[in-house]
Amino acid sequence: MQPLTEMPPIRSSEITPEHVYFSRRRVLRLGMLALGSAALAACVPTTPTAQEAPGMIPRLNKRDEFGDPVNRWEEITNYNNFYEFSTDKEAVARLAQGFQTTPWTITVDGLVRNPKTYDLDDLRKFGEEERIYRLRCVEGWSMVIPWLGFPLHKLLREVEPTAQARYVRFVSAFVPEQMPGTRLLPLYPWPYTEGLRLDEAMHDLTLLVTGVYGRPLPPQNGAPVRLAVPWKYGFKSIKSIVRIELVAEQPATLWNTVAPHEYGFYSNVNPNKPHPRWSQATERRIGELGRRRTLMFNGYAQVAPLYEGMDLMQNY
């Protein structure tokens, strides 16, 4: 599992609050002026750059293939589902702040010819490209997110699944000392697990994500490595992955175990298949007024051949 290091997690109380940080800079600047040295004062930046100041990251002027603009950094990193930290979407960012993501390894094993444990450096050789994907949560909201990562098939080809391998099982880190949400939900079958059929995992849209918005992935978005499967409900896009196991039978997943009648194994975005407690016909795009129509496969119609001959109303 997730290795524990000697370093304790950073407490949120140890992080300098923004107003203190800015006033310290002001005091420093005044001090420099008091020295009467114009040359020295000129070395002190008078305005914080976007990189330094949290909350001042400019909106990327990019659109997805459907013509929709990407969401703001603030939205993507402050409205999160990550139950290991909290069920409150707006509290996850703060509670995940001290989560230790280095050192980190992902073990890839099971029905493969070349099982291997990858560290973050090992993953670099697979490259990093930007993919702007829609994320549609099963709860009825959505965003457009510019991920950085590489297609999972690159890694799967390297480990060489055997002929018996038919599914891929993914496991998240489980570190209760650093994950207060898991202690509030002790009856959940932790660690968080997910699964894909092997052909879904091999599809070029299936991305292993290492960054977002041109930056490393923040803890609340599933650092250091998470999945993005854009044609499925968001809960299939498992965060903070520590193990990828090739298996013969359809694996148990957390949400399918907790509420099988509400969350199927496939969970493809499907506007015609209502959740037992709400419609899935429309969604609220974060940052927009009103609702928009939800599209079959979240708009990614190219995956339809994966499900030829399957009744997606029964086998959801």
Ligand X SMILES: Nc1nc2c(c(=O)[nH]1)N[C@H]1C(S)=C(S)[C@@H](COP(=O)(O)O)O[C@H]1N2
List of residues contacting ligand X (CB under 6 A): 80-84, 135, 137, 172, 192, 221-222, 234-235, 237-240
**Nearest alpha carbon to residue 137 among 233, 221, 281:** 233
- Among 71, 80, 81, 182, interactor with Mo ion by CB under 5 A: 81
Cβ neighbours of 203 (radius 10 Å): 21
Question: By CB under 5 A, is residue 255 in contact with Mo ion?
Answer: no
Residue 82 touches which of Mo ion, ligand X, none (Cβ within 5-8 Å per kind): ligand X
Kindly give the pairing relationship between strand 141-151 and strand 129-136.
antiparallel
Rounded to a whole number of angstroms, the minimum distance from the CB of residue 137 to Mo ion is 3
Nearest distance, CB of residue 227 and Mo ion, angstroms: 13
Closer CB to Mo ion, 213 or 235, in the complex: 235
Take residue 271 and report the two structure tokens written for it: 């506007």
How far apart are CB 235 and Mo ion at their closest, in Å?
A: 5
Given the rule CB under 5 A, which of 44-52, 106-114, 136-144, 145-153 is the region that contacts Mo ion? Answer: 136-144
- The residue type at 64: D
Residue in 275, 287, 279, 289 with CA at minimum distance from that of residue 144: 287
Q: How many CB atoms lie within 10 A of CB 66?
A: 12
Does 235 bind Mo ion (CB under 5 A)? Our answer is yes
CB 80, min distance to ligand X, A: 3
Helices and strands in the chain: count of H runs, count of E runs: 9, 12
User: Which stretches of the chain bind Mo ion, using CB under 5 A?
Assistant: 81, 137, 234-235
